[in-house]
Amino acid sequence: MNDHGLPILLVDDEEEILLNYGMFLRYAGMGRVLSICDGRKVLPLLGEQDAAVVVLDLIMPHLPGKELLAGIRSEFPHIPVIVMTAVNELDVAVECMKAGAFDYLVKPVDRSRFVSSVEKALKFRELNDEVSYLKHHMLADGIEREDAFSSIITNSPKMLAIFRYAEAVAKTQRPVCIVGETGVGKELLAEAIFILSDLKGEFVPVNVAGLDDAIFPDTLFGHKKGAFTGAESERAGLIERASGGVLLLDEIGDLSETSQVKLLRLLEEHKYYPIGSDVPKKSDARIITSTNKDLEEAMARGTFRKDLYYRLCGHSIHVPPLRERTEDIPLLLDHFLEQASASLSKEKPLHSDRTASMLSTYHFPGNVRELQAMVYDVMTRRRSGALTAGDFRDYLTQNKGVREDLFPDPPEEPVIWPRISGKFPTLKELEDFAITEAMARAQGKQATAASLLGITRQALNRRLLRKSKRE
């Protein structure tokens, strides 16, 4: 299957060859096929229209195939070239391979051999494109599409590195597997990849952990009318709904072995059969999976198929738990307080930095989702006044059975405001002092310091730049 959206270019001076082998590719679902019988037109065409693969005859009038091969490899080195010729001579084949040909086929070429060679060339092109794309994005500074990650509240360097990787793999067609504990935001990251991919179809999530072997094929592939008792009308499956978009298979580690076989067939053949139908349907939905299980351990136990694992993990992303990115807690706390206040029609309460400091010592087995539930619960109970570390400590000891002595109050550090140069300090001097003090208490973490100052990280960053210029 040709996922590039680019045509395959056949170059031969025999019209019958172009017709027959073009049909072979179309029947195999290879997409568009362009044909040229005059080698002189190839390089100008490639200058205007990229091709996924070129299949080239050696013996042609006007421009010999060897010269054309050299020209393509020189000007368009990213395009794999398959030489297909009646010349069955070893030295010619060796010469062509040394010149950069991807494969050498001797006419007449068996249909399956021909299609297989083109498929391998397409895979080679896809991997090369991905490597180039990954290099470009991983070496670049910053994130190009911050809007795609707007639903993920973070300032963690670990998460920002994941965002850069997600940008790099979003435009590829290979499946992505997102691994992480419950509540870390795997579905939000999958949706961000969908946004970055610019696909025209829908984002369709489904939790496969709740689907048994009888329900799984009906949910994914749908059924025809009368396929079984109760099938009173035709029903489209989720794979059809996700056509041209992304299908997220959440909790893939819980899928039974029988259902794993059905999914593997879909990934290998890019087609499926609705229940009760003997006519296959093609699938162009991109597959993203997520799990909180260790799939490698499941493979070792024999509960997860190795061939399915390698099909699903074209790209793998591990999302760290909240306890490994505690710098996000002040941001998340403020965000969830804003949400809870709006939802409960209450005024957003003030809270001290001691609250976020105390929460950062908790291990959060439920991660970001647990913090969100905790904030809503505390806000529901709150009557009035500022939120304190004690409110959350009480919640954790009463609802989670956590020992109270694990959350001692941090000592209150007095702020000694300076007299600068023997005169009353200016606002600029006070701002510089407050920023220095906040950065010291936050141990250099800008997100925490911004929370202490009551401003955004971006605003703090601008003030730090201005301060450094003044100094």
- Most confident option among 95-109, 380-394, 395-409, 429-443: 95-109
Q: Is residue 380 located within the same domain as residue 449?
A: no
For residues 218-257, one letter each, b for 16 or more C-beta atoms within 10 angstroms of the residue's C-beta and e for the rest, the string is: bbbbbbbeebeeebeeebebbbbbbbebbbbbbbbbbbee
Q: Look at residue 371 and give its three-state secondary structure.
A: helix
Q: Is residue 245 located within the same domain as residue 172?
A: yes
| Chosen domain end from 305, 320, 335 | 320
pLDDT of residue 131: 73
pLDDT of residue 54: 95
Looking at residues 117-133, what average pLDDT do you find? 84
415 within domain boundaries: no
pLDDT digits (tens, 9 = 90+) for 229-267: 888 888 899 999 999 999 999 999 999 999 999 999 888
Q: Is residue 392 located within the same domain as residue 435?
A: no
Q: Is residue 175 located within the same domain as residue 315?
A: yes
Q: Token pair of 192, please?
A: 């961000």
Q: Look at residue 94 and tell me whether its pLDDT is greater than 80.
A: yes
pLDDT of residue 50: 92
37 within domain boundaries: yes
pLDDT digits (tens, 9 = 90+) for 290-330: 999 999 999 999 999 999 999 999 899 999 999 999 999 99
| Chosen domain end from 135, 161, 177 | 135
CB 64 within 8 A of CB 42: no
Range of the domain at 45: 8-135
Sign of CA dihedral 4, 5, 6, 10: positive
Looking at residues 325-346, what average pLDDT do you find? 91
Q: Is residue 315 located within the same domain as residue 363?
A: no
* Domain count along the chain: 4
User: What percent of the chain stands above pLDDT 70?
Assistant: 91
pLDDT of residue 356: 83
Lowest mean pLDDT among 101-115, 283-297, 371-385, 453-467: 453-467
pLDDT of residue 3: 56
Q: Look at residue 407 and tell me whether its pLDDT is greater than 70.
A: no
Rg (CA), the chain: 30
Q: Is residue 339 located within the same domain as residue 250?
A: no
Q: Is residue 101 located within the same domain as residue 76?
A: yes
Q: Residue 430: is it exposed, middle or buried by C-beta count within 10 angstroms (0-12/13-18/19+)?
A: middle
Q: Is residue 434 located within the same domain as residue 462?
A: yes
411 within domain boundaries: no
pLDDT of residue 261: 92
| Chosen domain end from 303, 320, 337 | 320
Q: Is residue 359 located within the same domain as residue 453?
A: no
pLDDT of residue 408: 55
Q: Is residue 208 located within the same domain as residue 222?
A: yes
Q: Is residue 295 located within the same domain as residue 336?
A: no
pLDDT of residue 42: 93
Q: Look at residue 149 and tell me whether its pLDDT is greater than 90.
A: yes
